[in-house]
Structure 1
């Protein structure tokens, strides 16, 4: 089964795959998840619909893979030597323009997930779970260094805190999240909750 999947995916080059993902994200920003169709992706990318289904299985899988592909790096690979440094480095992977685009994109995907169980399942399996695993690596290093107590109750809510700051900026302040906002939020809210002193 795994060998078949590898053979199936080998028909598209990494460059072509990146082009397809970018086109999917563009369409997602333009029309939203519900109005995005495999026909529209096929037309935009000059691909056959059969190829798209063969490679990704369906719209939910293609959209989630595109969102995951757009991430600039793996969270767990960031290792500055301190938790504050790691969280700041994570924010600094993107500029303000990209952060604003990603915020709008994720709001749209989150709204679509409320009404689409298939998208919710795929997003959880292929995006949320891997991201949580990456964050656990970052946190475990902080625990191993003695920065965070292993029994700190806020550890279970780290990702909730980070997503909350990212997601509620537009809702509460009518502004997109920015690097400056997210960095100050980490220092004022996230790190104190974990018992990590900030300068």
Structure 2
């Protein structure tokens, strides 16, 4: 039996496909509990029962809102992001990229990196979690990043034929991930500002 064929993720646990609307405050409380549990026990040991107990809700309620553990975890991670690309529009590409880097709190980054390291094995071994993360987190953010870059093209800041254009997200994520590995230091706003000015913008011909 795989992790996602366990009772925590079986559709049979869901009494009804109908979803009742949660208040933003209640949803935030549930997401916070999921993040806390991920930090405490990891993905494999996190259960819907534990989330229900931590938040004093019923497991049936959780299944009405999310199909199972992968979808709940992916939604919690998306909500946990300190800022969404869709919220950024400063009027210039440089301003947009700097605004994204300005929220890189070192303590928060360390927690996020620990979360991603803990999820790494589960993502590799669990296609349901992999798919949920792509649908809930990766693909929406990549679509917003493409819109951010397209605005720069429309303003005439950026040549649409620039070869590095398709690698902007890769470069930003790479900067966040590799500094702790190479320097044993978090990718704080000062570091990311220098990276954007010295590497990313020149690669885009700016």
User: Could you state the TM-score of these two structures normalised by the residue count of structure 2?
Assistant: 0.85
> Within the alignment, does 1:8 sit opposite 2:19 as a pair?
yes
Q: For structure 2, which runs of at least 5 residues remain unmatched after alignment?
A: 1-15
Contact 2:162 2:204 in 1 (8 A): yes
63-72 vs 128-137, which deviates more? Answer: 63-72
Alignment length (residue pairs): 191
SS at match of 2:91: coil
Instruction: Give the corresponding residue for 1:77.
Output: 87
The counterpart of 1:178, out of the listed 180, 184, 188, is 188
- Give the Å deviation of 1:94: 4.4
The residue correspondences of 1:148-163 to structure 2 (distance < 5 A) are 148-163=158-173
Runs of 4+ in 1 over 3 A off after TM superposition: none
Contact 2:103 2:189 in 1 (8 A): no
Contact 2:31 2:75 in 1 (8 A): yes
Task: Provide Cα deviations, 1:77-106, integer angstroms capped at 9, x if missing partner.
Answer: 312121111011111134332233223223
Cα distance in 1, alignment partners of residues 89 and 115 from structure 2: 27
138-147 vs 56-65, which deviates more? Answer: 138-147
74-83 vs 53-62, which deviates more? Answer: 74-83
- Give the Å deviation of 1:173: 1.9
Contact 1:103 1:176 in 2 (8 A): no
**Structure 1 residues 51 and 76: CA distance shift in structure 2, 3 A:** closer
> Within the alignment, does 1:135 sit opposite 2:154 as a pair?
no
> Within the alignment, does 1:40 sit opposite 2:18 as a pair?
no
Contact 2:74 2:136 in 1 (8 A): yes
User: Could you state the TM-score of these two structures normalised by the residue count of structure 1?
Assistant: 0.88
Q: For structure 1, which runs of at least 5 residues remain unmatched after alignment?
A: none
